[in-house]
A and B are shown apart, each in its own frame.
Chain A
Amino acid sequence: MIQIRGLAFDSPEGRPLMEGLDLDVPRGGNLLVSGVSGSGKSRLLKVMAGTERPRRGEVRIAGHLIWPGDGALALAGRLRMGFAFAAGGLLSNLSLEDNVALPLRFLGLPPVEVVRRTGAALERLGLGPVSRLRPHAISGTARKHANLARVLALEPELVLLDEPLEGLDAADRALALALIQAWAGDPACTLVMASEEPQALPGLEADYLQLIPPPLPMESP
């Protein structure tokens, strides 16, 4: 599903984070990307999603060349990909319901199916009572769950999760983990998850990629 060759990318400040990464994730495979904050986990996920252009290298998703190329636009209408962001990512002028429904409407699904999938995804994540609210009016936990609900409603072939368990209490964590484990166990779904915790997917078969942040440059006296 994911083929990466000779990937190199930098931090937003231009600091090199990755040099020459080769990576293969088969269809239905699971990959856990771990590393401390600032090691480039989120950046790697964004490069895979086609929203962040790498400095160098080739990225193919389901055989489609996204880098070098048009990035995520190359996948539109060809692959159902879901990306749960660590923070933000929900459209602030839309309700949670519309946030979840928008990608489905854009896929051209019939309205009845859009309503069914949206409602089911929001209910599964416990967001039914706040589904009409906009992201600014709900808690940080609910925003994280809304990100997962948007991914869930898409019935995705590729799931990218950026720190989906960070900052959740035990109950919310269990809710999110059950969903992630379902994706991880689904042979039709490829899962890539970034987490600071190397054991974030306990008991599941997954490949591990540990990112080590490059040393910070010393300032000259």
Chain B
Amino acid sequence: MVFLARLGAPVRGFLEFLGDQGHLVLQTLRHGFLLRSGQWAVVGAQTKLQIRFTGLDAALLVGGTALLLGAVTLIQAFSQLSGLGAENYIGTLMVLIILRELGPLLTAVLVIGRSATAIAAELGAMQLNGEVDALAAHGVNPYQYLLLPRWLGALLSIFALVVFFDGAALAGGFLVARLKYGITWGFFLESVRQALSNLDFAATLLKVVLFAGAITFHACHFGLRIRRSQTEIPQAVTRTVVSALVAVFIIDGLVAALFYF
């Protein structure tokens, strides 16, 4: 019995976690639909703040990372495939490696590192300071004021960052292709365009939506669970990172299987 109990405890804990995540999503959606016109200004201002922090402030980091990644991807590809007509596979390589997989995935990883950690720590500190209770007690719905703007902000920011990442990675790839093979911008873009399909756009969009939800609600879950002491904040941040990373990789695998398997 003890063995069975030990076996069952993590399963039960995982199911509880999933239930809590589902509850957070449904409640946020429900209260989002209940927002009155006068409240949208407050929620909109909070969403703008989240977009500034998650999107704008991360743009340089994401752009730099993507530029280097695009360049390194083609450097490695050319070093392995030189003599096999690597220049003919530029578009396929860029689409397969960067646009389909690494663009959304690395953007999500960077957002987890920068924003999910900040959301978890901020909500944890607010919880300890009684700020969440104060909001609820004064008629400011925490789902509408805290969760919805973070979700919307993360969603719009991740979408913009993935587009920016892909653009910067293509620019990095083009630089290498240009320097190595003297390939023109027109040829490069045409090669990428031929390798891209509508399926890639749909898969990327789905990933953006699911990643944003997973990242935001993991951070909110672990942040709002803090109850007693400030020492719980770093624990919540660590759990957010690990848990959100696992969720993002699982979602990425599932979407890849759904669209390309």
Contact indicator per residue, chain B 138-154, by CB within 8 Å of chain A (1) or not (0): 11110101000000000
- Asked whether A103 lies within 8 Å of B139 as measured between CB atoms, the reply is yes
- Asked whether A50 lies within 8 Å of B136 as measured between CB atoms, the reply is yes
B149 to chain A, nearest CB (A): 13
Residues in A whose Cβ lies below 8 Å from that of B137? 49-51, 72, 81-83, 160
Given contacts A12-B227, A92-B125, A108-B36, contact A81 B130 (CB under 8 A): no
- Asked whether B136 lies within 8 Å of A89 as measured between CB atoms, the reply is no
CB-based nearest A residue for B45:
A105
Number of interface residues of B (CB under 8 A): 26
CB-based nearest A residue for B129:
A88
A136 to chain B, nearest CB (A): 10
Bound complex: CA A87 to CA B227 (Å): 15
A90 sits at the interface (CB 8 A): yes
CB-based nearest A residue for B37:
A108
B228 sits at the interface (CB 8 A): yes
A9 sits at the interface (CB 8 A): no
**How big is chain A's contact interface, by range?**
20 to 34
- Asked whether B131 lies within 8 Å of A106 as measured between CB atoms, the reply is no
- Asked whether B42 lies within 8 Å of A89 as measured between CB atoms, the reply is no
Across the interface, B139 reaches (CB within 8 A) one of A75, A85, A90, A92, namely A75
CB-based nearest B residue for A99:
B134
Q: List 28 A-B contacts (CB under 8 A).
A: A49-B137, A50-B136, A51-B136, A72-B136, A72-B137, A80-B139, A83-B137, A85-B130, A85-B134, A87-B130, A88-B131, A88-B134, A89-B129, A89-B130, A89-B133, A90-B131, A90-B134, A102-B138, A103-B139, A105-B39, A106-B138, A106-B145, A107-B38, A108-B36, A108-B38, A109-B38, A154-B138, A160-B137
